[in-house]
Each structure stands twice: as structure tokens, then as C-alpha cells.
Copies of this chain bind each other. A is one copy, B any other.
Amino acid sequence: MAEQKATNVYWHDGEVSRADRNRLLGQKGATIWFTGLSGSGKSTVAVALEKVLAERGHLAYRLDGDNIRLGINKNLGFSAEDRTENIRRIGEIAKLFVDTGVLALSSFVSPYRADRDMVRKLHEDAGMEFIEVYVNVPLAEAEKRDPKGLYKKARAGEIKNFTGIDDPYEAPDNPELILHSHQMSLAEEVDALLTLLEERGILGAGIPVAEAV
């Protein structure tokens, strides 16, 4: 071994822990798992929540179709097996974020109860926070919104196995929160989420924010 030349480098024994990272960030890592029909408003409320969290110095990251289906899960299709593997991988990635201290905002239809419960168990077995948020609107409302024109295609038979049309949506039995997005304003939805996160001790002081980000 060479002699000690480097200066200004110090460390003590032990690895940086999850608790250390939570302390650094002023928050407790957690997965907030939005589930609901296509068009129910999952992404809309996730985007709004992320914004308010950032303004308060909290680090969140949204997992959604754009960064998952086009990235790590690009080799998965929509068979039952692939759908389950899709959700499993998202759950494992969310766990890594929680371990880092980040608030993972997951926004996928995730229609099957067994898949969501698998992800919940992955978290709970690791002592991690998992908050299931059911964005609940009537199918007729989601179909009326149809922001991506997917219901129209499903009704025309151009998309098969579309959740709500010819594939089931299994509503959560016991979610941590239900958002009736057709009866609430976006501000009310975000407020309900913040209240829940505060009640569960997830939001500490955050990172000092010099100016609005």
C-alpha cells in the first residue's frame, strides 16, 4: 500500500444507512402508489403533489409510463405475465428509491389486486412505507375524459384487453387514501395527500429552499 498522500478525506467506520439518508433529506422515503382507471387523474395529481413537495424542499420522483415502459420495461408487453413482471419491477425500483430516502410517486393503472399486494408486501417486509392511493372515478367519467383517446380505440376493438372495457379493474380493498377526482379539486386532492404524509411522519423539515424551485 502506498503512503497516505491524500488530504481532506476523512471517514469513520460503517456504511451510510437509510436513516442517514432520511436525515440528510429531512424526510422519510416512501412509495405513494397511485392506482386507478386510465383517465382517472393519477398522473395529474402526482404532478401536482410533486410540485408542492419540491416547493417545500422535499425530493420526490415520479415513476410513470414515460420513464418505465420506454426504459427498463421496454422488453415487456401486455400479456398477464408481462403485466405482473412490469408491476414487480416498478415495485422493486420504488423500494430502491425509498431506501435512498426519496418519495417515489408511482402512477400506473395497476389493475390487479394481487400485483399491488405483492408490491405492498415487498415494502412492508423491508420496513418501508407503502401508501396506496385509489384514484376512483366512475368508468363513464374516465371514458368521457379519455385524454389519450384510448377508450375510443378500445370500444372500436383497436386495443384489446383494455382495463375497464374488456379487462377488469380490481379496486383496492383497503387503500390508505381514496381520491374521488371527479368530486374534488386538485388542491383538495393534494391537501389530502399532504395531510396523510404528515400524519405518517414522512414529511420532516425537508431541504432548506432558498427560493421557490
Contact = CB atoms under 8 A, between A and B. Distances in A.
Given A92-B72, A102-B100, A213 B55 contact: no
A73 to B, nearest CB: 9
Contact of A96 (B48, B71, B187): B71
Contacts of A60: 16
A191 B51 contact: no
A21 interface: yes
A51 to B, nearest CB: 4
A128 interface: no
Contact of A72 (B3, B89, B192): B89
10 contacts: A1-B184, A3-B185, A8-B191, A9-B190, A11-B55, A16-B213, A61-B99, A72-B89, A96-B97, A102-B102
A2 B184 contact: yes
Contacts of A71: 92, 95-96
Given A1-B185, A6-B187, A24-B54, 10 more contacts: A1-B183, A4-B185, A5-B187, A15-B50, A15-B51, A23-B213, A24-B209, A59-B100, A63-B96, A75-B85
A48 B89 CA distance: 29
A213 B52 contact: no
Contacts of A161: none
A50 B20 CA distance: 11
Interface in A7-41: 7-12, 14-16, 20-21, 23-25
Contacts of A10: 52, 55
A121 B85 CA distance: 25
A171 interface: no
Contacts of A92: 71-72
A99 B67 contact: yes
